[in-house]
Amino acid sequence: MLRIAICDDEEFYREKLQSLVQNYLLNHDLAGNFSLFSSGEEFLGQCENQVKYDIVFMDITMDALSGIQTALRMRSFHSDTFLVLVTAFFDYVLEGYKVNALRYLLKDTLDASLPECMDAILRKMQTAQVTFPFTDGERKLYTDNLLYIESQKHKSLFHYMGTAREILRLYRKLDSIEEALSGYGFLRIHKSYLVNMKHILRISGYTAFLDTGEELPIPRLKFQSVKEAFTAYKGAF
């Protein structure tokens, strides 16, 4: 699931951008978690509290703290976030170079320019796909949308978030699935759970806390190695 922030002091454009991006994601079998902000100050209050976004749409001309000032602050602690600058004026296009913006979108052409912008972001993300022969047929899944795999008796349950939450069933051992997903950022936190580290918010108290609100157990003997692996993963991004 993509974490997306929209920061604009005009409610109309916050809602318009969210609607356009949601429709794009729906058409590409992707899901997004949206956060809307009406000022740079409000956005930074979340961002500086370790909330990291995959994509940020930032209005340039806002009162008090401008979009460029806000983006410069954001870049100081989240250098790899994909930033898209949005404005009603063409005069600020060169400002985007200061904050490493991927695209510069004019507000009066959002309907036409947003799809290409999202195409470019997904290409740069190199969104990976994997294919498995599930009980109801072969499916190709985006690894980013795969929350975790749970071993249950003779089946493995894939907890997947596309346009909606679903559980896909596969008759294969979790060891084999772990091998197939090697290199995609999955961590075996328990003999019965293989978790996508992208969706782990934190690990503490022998528990993995996911961005879905779920809590998965970590055995006491495995806790230190799991925590070290997750810490190393976070440090790489």
Same domain as 141, residue 112: no
For the residues 90-100, what does the mean pLDDT come to?
Answer: 66
- Domain enclosing residue 52, as ranges: 2-125
Chain center to CA of 136: 27
Same domain as 155, residue 45: no
Same domain as 153, residue 111: no
Same domain as 230, residue 166: yes
Same domain as 105, residue 151: no
Same domain as 141, residue 109: no
Q: Which CATH number covers residue 224?
A: 2.40.50.1020
Q: Full-prediction pTM beyond 0.85?
A: no
Same domain as 166, residue 74: no
Q: What is the pLDDT of residues 157-198, one digit of tens each?
A: 999 987 778 999 999 999 999 999 988 889 999 999 999 998
CB 216 within 8 A of CB 189: yes
127 pLDDT tier (thresholds 50, 70, 90): low
Residue finishing a domain among 66, 90, 125: 125
Q: Which CATH number covers residue 106?
A: 3.40.50.2300
205 pLDDT tier (thresholds 50, 70, 90): very high
Same domain as 120, residue 138: no
Predicted pLDDT at 192? 97
Q: What is the pLDDT of residues 16-49, one digit of tens each?
A: 999 999 999 999 888 888 999 999 999 988 765 4
Residue finishing a domain among 74, 105, 125: 125
Total domains present in the chain? 2
Same domain as 6, residue 117: yes
Same domain as 109, residue 10: yes
Same domain as 52, residue 85: yes
Same domain as 147, residue 210: yes
Residue finishing a domain among 125, 153, 168: 125
Those residues whose C-beta lies under 8 Å from the C-beta of residue 20, and which sit 6 or more positions away, are 110, 111, 114
